[in-house]
Amino acid sequence: MESSSETVVSPNGDRVLVIMAKAPRPGAVKTRLTPSLPLQAVTAFYRCLLGDTLALARSLGGVEIAIMCPDSDVSELTRLAGHGARVVAQEGEGLAAGLTSVFAHFAEGHQRRIIAFNSDSPHLPRSVLEEAFETLAAHDTVVGPTSDGGYYLVGAKAFHPTLFTGDGMGTGSALERLLSRARVLELSVGFADPFYDIDVANDLIRLAAELQRAPARAPQTAVWFKHWGDAVTQLRTGTGDL
């Protein structure tokens, strides 16, 4: 794998947060929202989520920040990420390949706590990420469950080639399958606080209400909600095209 820029090493050197991302292109991101919102709105929404996720990552102290993405997205994401975040092309296609690439790349030759984090939970309290790194210090792996049976983060201190093998990524059984493979590999698992990411219209409505109360948690995304407020209101009242 090739990275787009020089290595960005944290002061203590042992914590790495890798954001799993795609370039914000129409029809390529947040596709489960496109039946509910105009395509240009969905693309702009993902761009805001990614921007706020990077801001959340940068608010952590002593953490190396990187983005893992498909090879075709490296140039565009490098421009969007700016300084202080390395953009790395994954080996293979799909989320399982991307997660495998994270630990193959960043665990090689190092003793580090590495967490892969999704790009659509910028509203996550920073303390949850800090605690996830602490949990990983005492376990082989750490997982942040979502209410739909998936997970918004996963961390490890070493590369386990078969941890993400098999199907089921992005489904309601993703967490169960991950935990099953961890048991087979005899890895201890710690858990971060359960949270939610933004996949469907109900998630969008929930986030709108949260950012209305506390826009500073994801300011770029809060501005998006102001711009597309009418469309989101239609979803909330059931008058939108769901």
Domain ranges, ordered by start, for the chain? 15-197
Residue 109 is predicted with a pLDDT of 75
Residue 204 is predicted with a pLDDT of 93
Mean pLDDT of 80-105: 93
Residue (of 160, 70, 171, 177) closest to 119 by Cα position: 70
Answer yes or no: is pLDDT of 130 > 80: yes
Residue 12 is predicted with a pLDDT of 44
Q: Answer for the pair 63, 138: CB distance below 8 angstroms, yes or no.
A: no
Q: Which residues contact 113 (CB under 8 A, 6 or more apart)?
A: 14, 15, 16, 133, 136, 137, 155, 157
Q: Which residues contact 94 (CB under 8 A, 6 or more apart)?
A: 169
**pTM of the shown model:** 0.89
For residue 44, give the 3-state DSSP assignment.
helix
pLDDT digits (tens, 9 = 90+) for 158-209: 999 999 986 555 566 899 999 999 999 999 999 999 999 998 899 999 999 9
Domain 15-197 has CATH 3.40.50.720: no
What is the percent of the chain where pLDDT is above 90? 76
By CB atoms closer than 10 A (0-12, 13-18, 19+), residue 157 is: buried
